[in-house]
Amino acid sequence: MEKIPTGIEGLDRVLYGGIPSGSVVLISGSSGTGKTILGTQFLIRGAEEQRERGMFVSLDERPSNLREDFKDIGFEIESLEKKDDLIMLDAASPKVGLVSDEEYVARFGLEVDSLLNDISRIHNEKDVDRIVIDSLPLIAFRTEEGVGTTIYRLMSLLNELDSTALVITEREEGSAKISRYGVEQYAARGVILLNTRMVGNEMRRNLLIKKIRGGDHDRRRYPFEISKGGIEVYPYPDVYSKRGQKTF
């Protein structure tokens, strides 16, 4: 199966080339693990390096806030938006009754049927190659049909679209569950877990590729850091830095 490079240094090495084309991959981690940064970097590198148009579906933060946050790590996404290489779909403003001046707005916020229609419509009109949804629990909070049903409906839609998608979900700190509801991973073709732990006074991050259907991958935990330019995954599973100065 063809693999799509994420464009994230070190991650494609762990994935043995990237994510299988057309797959829906779950990105799961607790607060502060870098989930949104990973998803945004996936879209930016796709647009810059692979000429693939991306769509970021923002369910939590207003796009204007995200743009400012991203600047702190060197992500200048407005230039990509102006070239129509990256689309920000604002579902965060309507959910709290705020007027949005974004070009792309989810008409009824987090109402599931309407949101799925908006995603599908924009995907087809703009020929989107990569999709990121941030984050899944926001939809589940609003559903009246059951969390499991809503999650499977979303994943089924994404699987039908001719795009490679990352779906972000929350994972409670210290929980043995892969995801908040314990069902998300079964609807996805891949799962990437992001973790943090304290070593002394230092927070260290690592990731694990839990599964990728249709493609082989490394099965060890790898350390990563977030700095100017985004996420960098280190190629040494048993140390924290590239120079091997710190042990896990």
End-to-end, the C-alpha distance of the chain in Å comes to 34
pLDDT digits (tens, 9 = 90+) for 131-186: 999 999 888 766 656 788 888 889 999 999 989 999 999 988 777 788 888 888 98
Output the pLDDT for position 215: 85
**CA distance linking residue 166 with residue 126, whole number of Å:** 18
pLDDT digits (tens, 9 = 90+) for 62-116: 999 999 999 999 999 999 999 999 999 999 999 888 999 999 999 888 888 999 9
Distances 153 to 13, 113, 123, 125, 150 between C-alpha atoms, Å? 32, 9, 17, 21, 5
Write the CATH number of the domain with boundaries 3-233: 3.40.50.300
Q: Which of 44, 99, 97 is nearest to 66 (CA)?
A: 44
Nearest-CA neighbor of 155 among 171, 138, 136? 136
User: pLDDT of 205-239, one tens digit each?
Assistant: 999 999 999 889 999 999 999 999 999 999 877 65
**Under 8 Å between Cβ of 212 and 189:** yes
pTM for the structure as a whole: 0.92
Confidence at residue 145, expressed as pLDDT on a 0 to 100 scale: 67
Q: Is the pLDDT higher at 243 or at 153?
A: 153
